Amino acid sequence: MCGIYGNTRADIYSLGVVLWELLTGAKPFDDTTAGKRSDAATLATMAQRRRAGVDPAALKRIPPDCPTALQRVLLTGLAPERDQRWAGGAALAQQLELCLDERARDLVDPPPNSWRLRLRPWLVTLAVAGPNLLAALANIHHNKSLIVDRLSLPQHTFWIIAGAVNAVSFPVGLATLIYLSRRLLTVPPGLRRGRRYDPRVLALVRSDALLFGDRTMLVTISL
């Protein structure tokens, strides 16, 4: 049903249902009206509900003190598409073990109201803007003492030209980094809200994360 059968990930799905019931006291899908119609209609309704993922009513039954990491682990195990679930029992066990380590799990999946989660959208900007600002100040001082003070060109003219160039190049560089990191800025928050993404999109996000340092360095050197 909706891709839950066929390999180890079917077992992951079944285990996810059991763990969800243990956590919330109810199934992750509403099947209360399933038995009031024919068998074929009942199966079709159940399949449709599972394709849609865990319903909002089930999400509201999650205990308030449930770690965000555990919620992510269970929702991944209950993903409608088989390829979106944990690849096997070892991967699931590692994720559940992570949930037992409060410090580690809060680093990976900060609680909803934590300062880490609130600051996360700004970390990329801070990581790029901070070093660039310090480098820019050092560069200005270095250039002024070795080049600008020795130019025959009036200094105010030089600073106007330099300011105009920087006013264009740095916003372009920042916009380029934001564009290259667009999936990193949008997909992880979506996952935390329970949104589902195509496996190809998730693969691109992982690639973007691995290439982010190289891209940042390339843009910075170009500036």
| Residue-wise DSSP of 47-66 | HHHHHT-S-HHHHHTS-TT-
Topology (CATH) of 8-108 = Transferase(Phosphotransferase); domain 1 (1.10.510)
Task: Say yes or no to pLDDT of 77 above 70.
Answer: yes
Task: Say yes or no to pLDDT of 60 above 90.
Answer: no
Which of 97, 135, 116 has its CA nearest to residue 217? 135
Which of 134, 183, 5 has its CA nearest to residue 81? 5
- What would the mean pLDDT of 120-143 be, rounded to a whole number? 82
Q: Is 215 or 7 the better-scoring residue by pLDDT?
A: 215
Model confidence pLDDT, tens digit, residues 151-187: 777 878 888 888 898 899 989 999 999 999 999 999 9
* Cα dist from 203 to 84, 87, 186, 198, whole Å: 11, 14, 14, 9
DSSP element (H, E) containing 45: helix 39-51
- What would the mean pLDDT of 99-115 be, rounded to a whole number? 79
* Cα dist from 50 to 32, 54, 132, 162, whole Å: 14, 7, 48, 59
Calpha distance 163→158 (Å, rounded): 8
pLDDT at residue 176, as a whole number: 94
Beta strands in 158-222 (DSSP E): none
- Which residues in the chain are classed under CATH 1.10.510.10? 8-108
Q: How confident is the model at residue 2 (pLDDT cuts 50, 70, 90)?
A: very low
